[in-house]
Structure 1
Amino acid sequence: MLKTETILLINYLHQTKEKDTEKIILSLDESRKKLWYEISVINNFLVEGGLQTIELHAGQLFNQDEETEKWTKLLVEQELDSYQFPEERIPLLIIHIACAQQPLSAKKLQNYFRLSRSSVLADVKRLRDYIEDYELVLLYDKAEGYIFKGDEMKVRRLLENAISHLQHISYLKKSAHYFEVIWGKSLEINEHYAYILNYSKNNLLSFVESRLEELIYNICFNKIRKNTKPINFSKNDTQQLKDQPAYTLSATLVKDIFNHSNEAEILFWETRLLNVLQGEKYTVDAHYFNKLTAKIILHIQQITGINFSESTTLHKTLYQHLVPAYFRMKFDLYYENPLVDKVKKEYQNLFYLIKKGLEPLEQEIGKCVSESEIAYFTIHFGGYLHLKEKTEENTRLRALAICLNGISSSLVMTAGLREIFPEIDFIEQHSIQEALLMSENQYDLVFSTISFPSEKKVYITKSWVRIQFLLEGLGHGMVLLRIMAGRLLIQRQP
């Protein structure tokens, strides 16, 4: 795939028809060596496409003008190979329309996608149905072309969702390259990446890497949008956001990248920054979020019947997840969870319980929590339960069970011990010699029918037949009495 620099040179040569290499070098601020290299790359590309190459003589480029008309078409065709299915074209349509650099008609969409008119109109209908959930409409005007009508925040959310989807299917970079080709301009992705990295270094910021790429592409596409509408924030939301330390960071970003200091834009990009910033120092209201975290844990505890109250680790990690999730949900920032279907299928019951348990959060943000977000909370609590289970397994006592009355008697004794002490893992030994050879690190205590030398606690069992008789007589429902009966016949070795 051609790099952005090569694409820009192709577009420059196509649009200006410039032949003089010195003027090209001056206009593009390139070195001669770099220009010769880019020309060689372009020629390889043209050969693969069956087109004539560019010749260089006495500081002049020679190629037939009619050939340059085919360059852009060849570039677009190269990018379109991956977009053969309607569901893959919908995100592209969204970006096309939201970021259109000139009026967009069905005819132009036919040319861009190399589709028939009926296929393009079918895609447009699918898009109209799709955006109903966003309370947006798609209109067509001869002067303006296709345009989205509705709340500006919802248009931006639609654009973000398209970007997120393309990243999810690994087409985001390729799609950005495609738009640079058809628009004939750079999205300045590398420049914005460099700015963000330098910005984070200077301000000692820590980003969630998996979300940073979407933020940068979101900035790039929004920067080139035309005819954007004002965004409105409520008085309470405005005050809450202005109170956060991230507000100052957002103000700097908006001034440096968008060249203005519009307060609504600062607030908007602050909500996006809060989704990718890692750590607690970028928000205030620690008391509020700690209280909300505790409320969610308590509610889920009441629904599931599982005691979480003693876990400070769960509270801390849930708090760290909750803060960005809160701002993400409250301000409609879409974040695609590729595991949502898997979580719903494999942890159906837990997913349902967590959904019910997040009611305190829904009350705070004033809207329903999406399945994508529920899946993240399910993974969070499920991970804690799995860790808790593993920890309990790792802290289970290991007991050495020694019986020299034969294998059958040994099996009976061990089975009885397991029934009395289900919280203990038993290691069977039928030979005193083999038991003596074992390292004491392999067990925590010993049950034996004879005296056994060990630094660990040793319990001498008396008549195991009598224990077994008592166990059978008491029945399976009387666990406590069975344990008491067993302990009467087991004494600590002096």
Structure 2
Amino acid sequence: MLILTERQKNLLILLQKAQGGIGIKQIEERIKVSRRTIYREFKELKKPLQKRGLAIVTIEGKYQIQGQTEDLNELKDDLGEDNPRNEMSVSKRQNALAIKLLFNDEPQKIIALALELHVSEATIQNDLRDVGKAISEYGITLIKKRGVGVYVKGTEITRRQVLCGILLNEINEYRFFNYIENNQYEQEYFLNLIERELLQEIKIDLKKSILQEISLASDHQLMQLILMFAICLMRMQQGQVIKADAKIDDKTLKYQGLVYEFLTNYEKKYPLQVLRQEVLFLAKYVESCDQEASPVFYDDDQELLLSIKIKQFIQQVSNDIRWDFQRNPVFFQKVTKHIGGIIKKKVNQLPNSPIETLTRVSEQYPKLFASISQSWQDNFPTNTLPISELQLLLLYFANELKNRRYQVKVSFLIICENGIGTSSILASRIQKEIPNISNIKVSNVSEVRKLDLSQYDMVLSTIKLPGFPRKYQIVSPLLLDEELGRIKDYLEKSQRKMQENIAVSKENVEKIINHDPIQGLNEIAISSLFCSDLVNGIEVKRLNNKTTLIDEVVDEIVLMVTTSIIRNRTEVAQNLKRRISLAPIGIPDSSIALLHTSSQEIKRCYFTVIDLSCPIRLKAMDQNEIEVTRILVMLGPKNLSEVEQKVMGLISSMIIMSDQSLSLFEKGSKQQIQDVISKRFLQEIKVGIPI
């Protein structure tokens, strides 16, 4: 984005329209300003024009803009009278103002800031009040001195962190990498604050050193590293270094070595004196981006506060559903990392549009989804999530629910003749053998009538209790192995029942048949035939892909599908590419992607598996990048019947619903995949038709 004052814009338009150039006297007359002012404007325009490959030159006393035809045409388009003026929003302008002050150590004149951002001095004064308040929260002070200007004061570390945070908030990662890799000019104020050549050099040197030894979660983190290294190098070149007494963790030897290697490569091209404190700071920053580093640590109070809020969020869902989602540390770390990325904008949110695979999960677990949605609103009221992002959180919880056993916290009531002695032995044995106990209450017979029996999941007694108002099990004080096995079986059945209650209940066959016997029988037959045809048509094919570009891989996959399935390959390929552009198709923590679409050019439902000879890198639904070696392809006609919709949705939900099924779809053979889908269809037919 070329930020110009009205006068600068008029000056450039005048120079561009003047064929063969224009003299300084004519410029004075047309712009109606002094010669001195014009020269000052030429000086102000020099750098922004240079970034676009342009320059104001004088030939035989006449001024003109010189550059490649393509660059001149781009400038013409930007200056065109029909184009609206590039104006910033208030928040963007204030961020631009903050960046200007943080990058420069010398006081800035109010009038110069107003001219650069093409607003009035009064607007800049108002903006400075807001900027000062915002940066003060980070320990940076905004200082205004009459006749001198405005500047900021704070530690060098904080200055760099705030600079990087603003840039990360304002720069779109797609445009960022397009700007670096394609050498294309971007009309983006914040992108053009750092020289493209510097960003390119940093990316190259990072790949040669640091990126070979660490694992990043996303392109956003790569952009974060590039920007921070750029900021640090620029500040060092300005002579602004981190003070030797700054408190930085010195326990990052691995990352210090990587930073030294990077700086060695960089110094071969650009001489730079680097102090140890600079290396320590960058090493700590690299460590914070490394996926392989310690999974949970808190750099400051904000990190700790966020962790507490996430824990409260998970606790609220656990209490609501009566299922302990906090016991598995791996699950907690995954959810913490994902939510942390959303809150701190380290990952992009999913689009606010339906994603079929995730929608199916929310339909299958409506109670759990409602609990997650409400808990999010209660714990993160200022961070509104699109429905697809809430459904992705549901996927984490649903997987944990499906994969873990004995996670329900249970409460025992133990009744003994006198409530002492043998009861303590029994309670101790239960605590040792059954770890997921929230409470054990020991009571004698005379006190049991005073208790609220509904508070206990299981009642054990060492004596018979004639007329007792609920089910109980008689056990010996020593709790024999046979008795312990009986208790565990009961708990497992209770857990399965709770899982069924959390998931949506299905109508059973008997209800359907009793309601309309003939219709019920027809639905069973139709569903069975459709499932049988779909399963028999499953194939596992190998694609010798010659490219790692997903659009080109899609074209190759569509060519593998026969004309008995597809009428118009071009139309189907375009639909698949549009689907990919909407949201990530990779399955989190796997090497597979789910590629699906519906179209009038598809004759019938189709599911197949494509193994790639050359892996490709794609974003998964959790915004992390994965290496994909297998693509699951699901195609369907435009208007699916109810049975077709449910069957295809069932397959997609099977893929992501448990670690075991995910592994099977990731590595399984044709026969194994056919078998597991067939078994699931049979289960569904037994408990409810249509599927």
**What TM-score, normalized to structure 2?**
0.39
Aligned to 1:266: 279
Aligned to 2:50: 7
1:178-216 deviation line (CA, Å, top 9, x unaligned): 436xxxx66622222222233356547555212211331
Q: 1:101 to 1:346 in 2, by over 3 A?
A: farther
Amino acid at match of 2:73: N
Partner Cα separation in structure 2 for residue 92 and residue 135 of structure 1: 19
Q: Which has the higher helix share?
A: 1
Superposition deviation, residue 318 in structure 1: 4.2
Aligned to 1:92: 96
Aligned to 2:514: 410
Superposition deviation, residue 129 in structure 1: 2.4
Are 1:253 and 2:262 matched, yes or no? Answer: yes
Q: 1:190 pairs with 191, 200, 203, which one?
A: 200
Are 1:401 and 2:405 matched, yes or no? Answer: no
Contact 2:216 2:222 in 1 (8 A): no
Q: 1:104 to 1:18 in 2, by over 3 A?
A: farther
Query: Which aligned pairs between 1:35-74 and structure 2 lie closer than 5 A?
Result: 39-45=68-74
Q: 1:98 to 1:196 in 2, by over 3 A?
A: same
Contact 2:94 2:131 in 1 (8 A): yes
Contact 1:205 1:277 in 2 (8 A): yes
Superposition deviation, residue 411 in structure 1: 3.7
Give the SS at the match of 2:151: strand
Are 1:277 and 2:290 matched, yes or no? Answer: yes
Partner Cα separation in structure 2 for residue 284 and residue 436 of structure 1: 47
Aligned to 1:120: 124
Query: Which aligned pairs between 1:64-463 and structure 2 lie closer than 5 A?
Result: 81-100=85-104, 103-141=107-145, 145-167=149-171, 174-179=188-193, 188-200=198-210, 202-203=212-213, 205-206=215-216, 208-225=218-235, 226=238, 228=240, 230=242, 238-239=249-250, 241-242=251-252, 245-257=254-266, 259-278=272-291, 280=292, 282-283=293-294, 304-305=318-319, 306-308=322-324, 315-316=329-330, 318-319=332-333, 335=345, 349-351=374-376, 382-388=394-400, 401=509, 410-411=514-515, 429=520, 442-444=681-683
Pairwise CA RMSD: 5.9
Superposition deviation, residue 112 in structure 1: 0.8
Say which is worse superposed, 167-176 or 212-221, in terms of deviation. Answer: 167-176
Q: 1:140 to 1:300 in 2, by over 3 A?
A: closer
Task: Give unpaired runs (5+ residues) of structure 1.
Answer: 20-36, 51-73, 287-293, 356-369, 415-426, 449-494
Partner Cα separation in structure 2 for residue 138 and residue 160 of structure 1: 18
Partner Cα separation in structure 2 for residue 107 and residue 222 of structure 1: 29
Superposition deviation, residue 397 in structure 1: 10
Superposition deviation, residue 83 in structure 1: 3.5
Partner Cα separation in structure 2 for residue 189 and residue 98 of structure 1: 19
Partner Cα separation in structure 1 for residue 71 and residue 683 of structure 2: 73
Amino acid at match of 1:213: M
User: How many corresponding residue pairs?
Assistant: 348
Identity %: 12
1:147-201 deviation line (CA, Å, top 9, x unaligned): 2112333322321221122125988762245436xxxx66622222222233356
Partner Cα separation in structure 1 for residue 278 and residue 132 of structure 2: 27
Contact 1:301 1:307 in 2 (8 A): no
Partner Cα separation in structure 2 for residue 436 and residue 205 of structure 1: 46
Q: 1:256 to 1:80 in 2, by over 3 A?
A: farther
Superposition deviation, residue 92 in structure 1: 0.8
Give the SS at the match of 2:68: helix
Superposition deviation, residue 93 in structure 1: 0.9
Partner Cα separation in structure 2 for residue 385 and residue 334 of structure 1: 22
Q: 1:228 to 1:141 in 2, by over 3 A?
A: farther
Q: 1:308 to 1:437 in 2, by over 3 A?
A: closer
Partner Cα separation in structure 1 for residue 191 and residue 527 of structure 2: 71
Superposition deviation, residue 43 in structure 1: 4.1
1:95-124 deviation line (CA, Å, top 9, x unaligned): 111112864211211221122221222222
Partner Cα separation in structure 1 for residue 519 and residue 51 of structure 2: 75
Partner Cα separation in structure 2 for residue 325 and residue 126 of structure 1: 29
Amino acid at match of 2:231: F
Task: Give unpaired runs (5+ residues) of structure 2.
Answer: 3-46, 61-65, 177-185, 298-306, 353-369, 404-498, 533-677
Partner Cα separation in structure 2 for residue 435 and residue 379 of structure 1: 31
